[in-house]
Amino acid sequence: MSALSLHKKIEENTGLLIFGILLVSSIGGLVQILPVLNQQSLQIATENTRVYSAVELTGRDIYIREGCSVCHSQQVRPLIAEVERYGPYSRAGEFVYDRPFLWGSKRTGPDLHRVGGKFSNDWHRVHLIDPRSVIAASIMPAYPWLAKREASQVGNITAKLSALRILGHPYSDEDIAAADSELEGLKEIDALIAYLQMLGTGLSEDISI
């Protein structure tokens, strides 16, 4: 059968057309994406990478809720200028507990992957509530409500840890039982700062590039 007469068949048959589109469009996914999902080396945590605590996870969910990743990447590229500006480039093993990943696609503000430990908690607090009081030229939105809302109201933290455990994150029964009390008395801003301070601390300390 010549290519043209084969095509004539597809062109006159709805079912064949649907099947053809499905077949042709799935090859790329099967050859390129599926192997990545099965690649074990992408699932091995680097030396100091650990699961997020109840407070850090709550902070991370606030980071997601406020759309921080719209303007801040978390992916330091292996380039001289980036390593100098931000710190060691990002490794796959640092992200194994990141659901979803937050690498971002735009740096309206600077990359945040190595921001952990660079500024004090107080600096973050003032900066989040009123960015321009710290950096006059900043165009970051202010987040005054973070200082008012309770961290325990961000979502059901017990259910969150349990869901992540189903996905393979090593939370113990004790971790899950203690989660509610860890959030007690904290504001949203405290949780977000806890998350920011642990960002990028998953590498062994002797790695400088």
Partner 1 sequence: MDEEDNNLYHDKVVIRLIQFSIIWAVLAMTVGVYISAELIWPSIDFGQFWLSFGRLRPLHTNGIIFGFAVSALMATGFYSVQRTSHAPLYAPRLAWFCCYAWQLTVLLGGLSLLAGWTTSKEYAELEWPFDIVIAVVWVCFGIVFFGTIANRKIKPIYISNWFYGALIIVIAMLHIVNSLAIPVTIGKSYSVYAGAQDAVVQWWYGHNAVGFLLTGGFLGMMYYFLPKHAGRPIWSYRLSVVAFWAFTYSYIWAGPHHLHYSAVPEWVLSLAMIMSVILLAPSWASMINGIMTVSSASEKLKTDPALKFIVLSLAFYGLATFEGPMMSFPSVNVVSHFTDWTIGHVHSGALGWNAMITYGTFYFMVPRLVGVELYSLRLANIHFWMALAGTMLYIIAMWGAGVSQGLLWLSVDEIGELSFSFKDIMSSMTPYYALRLIAGIIFLGGTLLMGYNLFMTLAGKHALKVYAPAVSPAFGVSS
- Alpha carbons 51 and 5: distance in angstroms, whole number: 58
Helix (H) / strand (E) containing 93 = none
Taking CB under 8 A as the binding criterion, the range among 77-85, 119-127, 178-186, 190-198 that sits at the site for partner 1 is: 77-85
With CB under 8 A as the rule, give the number of residues binding partner 1: 83
For partner 1, which stretch binds (CB under 8 A), given 73-81, 120-128, 178-186, 193-201? 73-81
* Cβ nearer to partner 1, comparing 193 with 202: 202
Are the beta carbons of 76 and 89 closer than 8 angstroms?
A: yes
**Collapsing DSSP states into helix, strand and coil, what is residue 150?**
strand
**129 CB contacts (<8 Å, ≥6 apart)?**
142, 143, 144, 146, 147, 189
Burial bucket for residue 153 (CB in 10 Å: 0-12, 13-18, 19+):
exposed
Please identify which residue in 47, 50, 92, 117 interacts with partner 1, judged by CB under 8 A.
92
DSSP 52: P
User: 147-206: which residues touch partner 1 (CB under 8 A)?
Assistant: 155-156, 159-160, 163-164, 166-167
The residue within the footprint of partner 1, chosen from 6, 56, 59, 64 (CB under 8 A), is 64
| 66 touching partner 1, by CB under 8 A | yes
Among 106, 133, 181, 185, binds partner 1 (CB under 8 A): 106
Binding residues for partner 1 restricted to 12-31, rule: CB under 8 A: 12, 14, 17-18, 20-22, 24-29
Q: State the helix-helix crossing angle for 3-11 and 14-28, rounded to 10 degrees.
A: 110
Judged by beta carbon, residue 58 or residue 197, the one nearer partner 1 is: 58
The 8-class DSSP code of residue 146 comes to G
**Angle, helix 157-166 to helix 54-65, in steps of 10 degrees:** 100
Among 9, 48, 70, 177, binds partner 1 (CB under 8 A): 70
Shortest spacing between CB 108 and partner 1, in angstroms: 7
CB nearer to partner 1: pick between 99 and 178: 99
